[in-house]
Amino acid sequence: MPILDRRVTKLLLCFVTLTLLAAGCGSTESEPSSAAAPTAATGLLPVPTTAALSPEPAVVEAATPIPETSEASTVLEPVPTPTSLSCLSTRQRVAQLLLPLATQPELIGAQVFAQDGELGGIGLLGQPDDQLAADLTALQESSFVPLLVASDEEGGSVQRLATLLGPIPSAAETAQSKTPDETRNQWIEYGSRVRALGIDVVFGPVLDVGSGPGIESRSFSDDPQVVASFGRAAAEGLLEADIMPVFKHFPGHGRATADSHLELPTTPALADLRGSDLVPYVELLADPVLGQQAAVMIGHLAVPGLSNGLPTSMSPATINGLLRDELGFGGLVFTDAMNMGAIVNTYGLLDATEQAIVAGADIAILGSLADVTPMLDYLVMRAQEDANLASTIDNRAARVLAAKGQEGLCLGAQ
């Protein structure tokens, strides 16, 4: 297909998506085993086509700028080895950092992005039917770079595959009715069926301590030790099923003042979180298996003494500081969905996503496929303007490819 036709097709897809889709994360929510193997074959991919390496299109103007208090990093990060990214254009590298949400009918349209390497992954919305495995196979086969495929599977009110695979209990019900061993076995069995569909990332388990707004029965308990015990069991079961679990919502949404789908909540101060909300993360990320093979999702939270008024998903002190430096976490970091009220009520989506990447996030979850092209345009432009950001993008893209088992992606293109 000529590249002009493809861009026209993408624009049409974006228009249709915007008119049909209202995306969130988790309960209405949209929220990676050392990297579970990608659904597609992991053999060497061909040299990029001319279309895939084409000049970058014009950039869409960003909305509300981030305030100067955003603690933007000025440290130039190390550039990955050339062989890990050398066959990818800047645009294709940026694409590895974005994971849009889509309903099952939109997976066909997602192939337009995937075939040019402009899609790093996809997150499922809605309630898919029994054609999902075939649709995901077709998407992977069309993709220039193997995709991460993610789904919210907590149980209870947050379970995308409930219609297809049958319901499982909420976290609260699980902690009241099952043992940790039974919970682990449940997630081995359920995770195996999820993996058979072509899904390799589950956004869960929830490690939030407490049942505040937007969390409710999604939390195992208001006791951090109970949360840690059942969170470990669920994550170990998912890993046994070759699924990457994603702990959420760091550093802790359970006692926050509001639902982050609607507005930016405030949590207790960092000193208070250390004695409760952070306990499950400290315990589980210290585990030599979970600390390497699980991922972490950053919530959109204002934490006194930590995020300086910013959402934690945009805060270098939260991601690069508390999570990376203090807790020593080296795995993938996702943001919560960037279209949630906690972000878009105050910040422009483009600027906020750039800030999240600078702050330490590897993958930003986007509300829809309609967000992909403007985000690619914007971040490519910013990388051309800012060598530090370009190096950061390369660092993040290399980590994502490693999580997919694709460190040798470009070896055949040398």
Close Cβ partners of 36 (under 8 Å, ≥ 6 residues apart): 195, 200, 201, 242, 243, 244
Task: Give pLDDT tens digits for 354-364.
Answer: 999 999 999 99
Q: Other C-beta atoms within 10 Å of 330: how many?
A: 12
Strand partners, 153: 159
The alpha carbon of 226 is separated from its chain's Cα centroid by a whole number of angstroms, namely: 25
Region 128-138: what's the mean pLDDT?
A: 98
For strand 364-366 and strand 295-298, is the pairing parallel, antiparallel, or unpaired?
unpaired
For strand 201-203 and strand 158-159, is the pairing parallel, antiparallel, or unpaired?
unpaired
- Model confidence at 319, pLDDT cuts 50, 70, 90, reads very high
Question: Crossing angle for the helix pair 387-403 and 349-359, nearest 10 degrees?
Answer: 70
Average pLDDT, the chain: 85
Strand partners, 266: 302
Query: Both tokens of residue 224?
Result: 């951090």
**Residue 75 phi, psi dihedral angles, 5° rounding:** -90, 125
Structural domain spans, the chain: 3-413
Torsion of CA 393, 398, 401, 405, to 10 degrees: -170
**Residue 386 burial by CB count (10 A; 0-12/13-18/19+): exposed, middle or buried?**
middle
- CATH fit for domain 3-413, picks 3.50.50.60, 3.60.20.10, 1.10.357.10, 3.20.20.300: 3.20.20.300
Statement: residue 54 has pLDDT above 80: no
Nearest to 35 by CA among 363, 386, 366, 318: 363
- Model confidence at 26, pLDDT cuts 50, 70, 90, reads low
E runs forming strands in 8-157? 98-102, 121-124, 148-155
**Residue 13 burial by CB count (10 A; 0-12/13-18/19+): exposed, middle or buried?**
buried
Contact call for residues 234 and 280 (beta carbons, < 8 A): no
Task: Give pLDDT tens digits for 190-211.
Answer: 999 999 999 999 999 999 999 9
CA dist., res. 171 & res. 154, Å (int): 7
Percentage of the chain beyond pLDDT 70 is 79
Phi and psi based region of residue 334 (left: phi greater than 0; alpha: psi -120 to 50; beta: remaining):
beta
Task: Give pLDDT tens digits for 156-181.
Answer: 999 999 999 999 999 999 999 999 99
Please report how many Cα atoms fall inside a 13 Å half-sphere around the Cα of residue 256, on the Cβ side: 30
- Residue 110 has what pLDDT? 97
Measured between alpha carbons, how far apart are the two ends of the chain, in Å? 26
CA dist., res. 116 & res. 207, Å (int): 37
**Residue 46 burial by CB count (10 A; 0-12/13-18/19+): exposed, middle or buried?**
exposed
CA dist., res. 277 & res. 312, Å (int): 14
User: Where in the sequence numbering do the catalytic residues fall?
Assistant: 261, 336
Region 381-385: what's the mean pLDDT?
A: 97
- Model confidence at 84, pLDDT cuts 50, 70, 90, reads confident
- Model confidence at 344, pLDDT cuts 50, 70, 90, reads very high
Nearest to 316 by CA among 364, 357, 263: 357
CA dist., res. 80 & res. 225, Å (int): 38
Query: Both tokens of residue 283?
Result: 């315990």
- Residue 176 has what pLDDT? 97
Phi and psi based region of residue 26 (left: phi greater than 0; alpha: psi -120 to 50; beta: remaining):
left
User: Reduced to 3 states, what is the DSSP secondary structure of residue 26?
Assistant: coil
